[in-house]
Structure 1
């Protein structure tokens, strides 16, 4: 019984100490968007973050397109090795895939300039 009371008093003491002690976290400063608005201009700050988010989203879409073309290329290569597809199909997929990726990169570059 005495041990239980001592544990309760110790827990209450730790709770009081934790509640009254101030905690200062060394948080990093947030990175400003690429447009670098003037201090206090919240609307421009939000627009800058939205623009940077759009650019990151476009980059993610380009990466997903590259991975999809690569997956299709490996699948078609495997089919050609097994005799289920012609080797010319692998070449056509490689050429068309490269054209699609170049065109997507061009469109994303133009969109980044417009945004």
Structure 2
């Protein structure tokens, strides 16, 4: 009796797994063209994907610059609260940091035009 029950459970398990496999078979999404278009051939398409990768790296650099300035500003603010630095120091850090981030974004924009 247990062997018949085992066979029935096995058949039910196989039916459920085959149903799940059939449901899970979906079409893969198509790959999106790069921002400059697919290009005339494989080499142009690769260059256009490399351009998009360069732009992404530039965005990551700008993000890291912003986070670095923000982190340093917070540490100087903590030093101001502990009376180790003055408010002038914090103003200088924020001002120079903001200018630095603007210059970095400007340079990255110029670099994107050159690419």
**In structure 1, how many angstroms separate the alpha carbons of the residues matched to 2:24 and 2:78?**
59
**In structure 1, how many angstroms separate the alpha carbons of the residues matched to 2:75 and 2:30?**
46
Instruction: Give the direction of change, closer, same or farther, for the CA distance of 1:15–1:76 in structure 2 (3 Å limit).
Output: closer
Instruction: Give the direction of change, closer, same or farther, for the CA distance of 1:3–1:58 in structure 2 (3 Å limit).
Output: same
Cross-structure match for 1:35: 36
- Paired residue secondary structure (1:85): coil
Instruction: Give the direction of change, closer, same or farther, for the CA distance of 1:8–1:55 in structure 2 (3 Å limit).
Output: same
**In structure 2, how many angstroms separate the alpha carbons of the residues matched to 1:62 and 1:32?**
25
Deviation at 1:6, TM superposition (A): 1.4
Uncovered stretches (5+) of structure 2, i.e. residues with no partner: none
Uncovered stretches (5+) of structure 1, i.e. residues with no partner: none
Q: CA RMSD in A?
A: 2.5
1:103 matched to 2:103: yes
After the TM superposition, list the runs of 4 or more consecutive aligned residues in structure 1 that deviate by more than 4 angstroms: 12-19, 21-24
Cross-structure match for 1:61: 61
TM-score, with length taken from structure 1: 0.80
Output aligned runs, 1:1-115, within 5 Å: 1=2, 2-13=4-15, 25-38=26-39, 41-115=41-115
**In structure 2, how many angstroms separate the alpha carbons of the residues matched to 1:10 and 1:63?**
54
Instruction: Give the direction of change, closer, same or farther, for the CA distance of 1:42–1:24 in structure 2 (3 Å limit).
Output: farther
